[in-house]
Chains A and B, each alone.
Chain A
Amino acid sequence: MTWFRDNTDKVMDLLLSHVWLSAVPIVLGFVIAVPIGWYANRHPRLRGFLLSVAGVLYTVPSLAFFLILPTIIGTGILAPTNVVVALTVYAVAIMVRSAADAFESVPPPVLDAATATGFAPAGRAFTVELPLAGPVLLAGLRVVAVSTVSLVSVGALIGVSNLGSLFTEGYRTDNTPEILIGVIGIVLLALAYDVLLVLAGRVLMPWSSTRATPRSGLRRLVGGGHA
């Protein structure tokens, strides 16, 4: 705790960049994956293909990905962009399947009723399909959030500062409290995201009991994590 008191500013700086490095991929991943998932659900023949591509992307080891990316997208080897791009790809990879499942979970009779009452296709997609896919999208997003927060720390290995830097530095200087602070910080950040998402879900989807959605966020990460 003394170490934390002496280094609060440093930890806060690292926390801030950790938030930044994880928030961008989570948001981008969601925004990119939702239309792909919607499309995959509408085209059953492409669904399998799209989901397989997403699955394969997720199996690329993150450290290797961070290191290869600069040569693919022409960024500097130490640029935070590498981490953001790589994590966005992972977020899309996880989220596409969730999104496809989410749109599949919308009851066809409701869609039929919406069409029959005079919704135009675009209006129906945004005001009926998207909100009704919400609960499953949220479940997927919780997994993405927790997974991304944890993956950001790997970025420390290629010199992109974040809470993970406390691991690398603490390990090098044999400073156990520093490593512990890193772990606690990351876990708390992941929890904060999760709580925020659940609350957002309650506010945005009062019709759905978000309590009933699977508390899959942490459990799935612990069970089938990937770093």
Chain B
Amino acid sequence: MIEYRSIGKTFADGTEAVGDFSLMLPSRTTTVLVGSSGCGKTTLLRMVNRMVDPTRGQVLIDDVDVATRNKVQLRRSIGYVMQHAGLLPHRKVIDNVATVLRLNGVDRKEARDRSYAVLETVGLDTSLATKYPSQLSGGQQQRVGVARGLVTDPNILLMDEPFGAVDPIVRDELQRELLRLQAELDKTIVFVTHDIDEAFLLGDQVVILRQGGVVAQVGTPKEIIASPADDFVRSFVGLDKGHRRLHVEERDGTRIVVDATGKATGVLE
């Protein structure tokens, strides 16, 4: 379990990224922090592995304040997947994946074996293992990034807009892949995105943020759609736009779902 307790962050130049933020993230679930740029979502994410230290308040992992833990050790115990994958360009795919294992002192052979296994888990052709990252497509690089995050079998996986830079088709594929992995692996995932559809697809718990890390609403996707807290949420979720206002029409005995713009989006079963 991860807990944010009255977190605040003011950067050295005086900008306040987060005012006063508190949240519980249950273990083995996916929590998605979603908001526009400047809402502090990445700052909040990076507090879990101490890439950012809060100015006020505490972040606790299983009731232990992360501030009491050695930064380097803490980071090695948490998976981190970032936008553009963040792979080391001078190391082969397999070595990129094995990096954290090697840092943790796992011997070379075992690190390789485990890295090959995890590459298969994320659905990457192992013939790519000896390539350099620049020889891979964006989607493939991102799979490697996920593999690297998972290789130590961490309890916690931090994902900072991991699918933001790939094209929509690949994004779709990676999202489904992540759902499949999560069903298998049961990690505590903290996922940051600005895409509400992605948040609703992946999140067990979705946190909608306003500027300055102010929580607009926390809930399951269904709860948020059923009862948006206010106009900000309603608008952020898109309930005020046509594509989320659906009604049923009957055509030749079949009930079809049509949105407010008149576009048929599906069939009611």
Contact = CB atoms under 8 A, between A and B. Distances in A.
A58 B86 CA distance: 39
Given A119-B103, A123-B103, A207-B132, A132 B86 contact: no
A223 interface: no
Contacts, number: 58
B229 interface: no
A116 B87 CA distance: 11
Given A109-B84, A207-B132, A207-B134, A118 B100 contact: yes
Interface size class for chain B? 20 to 34
Contacts of A116: 46, 49, 51, 75, 80, 82, 86
Interface string A114-129: 1111111001000010
Nearest to A205: B90
A48 interface: no
A117 B89 contact: no
A118 B75 contact: yes
Interface in A185-214: 205-208
Contacts of B76: 117-118
Nearest to B72: A120
Nearest to B80: A116
Contacts of A208: 90
Interface in B44-98: 46, 49, 51, 72-73, 75-76, 80, 82, 84, 86-91
Interface string B178-195: 000000000000000000
B71 to A, nearest CB: 9
Contacts of B205: none
A110 interface: yes
A113 B82 contact: yes
Interface in A116-154: 116-120, 123, 128, 131-132, 134
Contacts of A114: 88
A109 B161 CA distance: 14
Given A118-B76, A128-B90, 13 more contacts: A109-B86, A112-B82, A113-B87, A113-B88, A116-B46, A116-B51, A117-B76, A118-B104, A119-B103, A120-B72, A123-B103, A205-B90, A207-B91
7 contacts: A112-B82, A113-B88, A115-B75, A118-B72, A118-B104, A128-B90, A131-B90
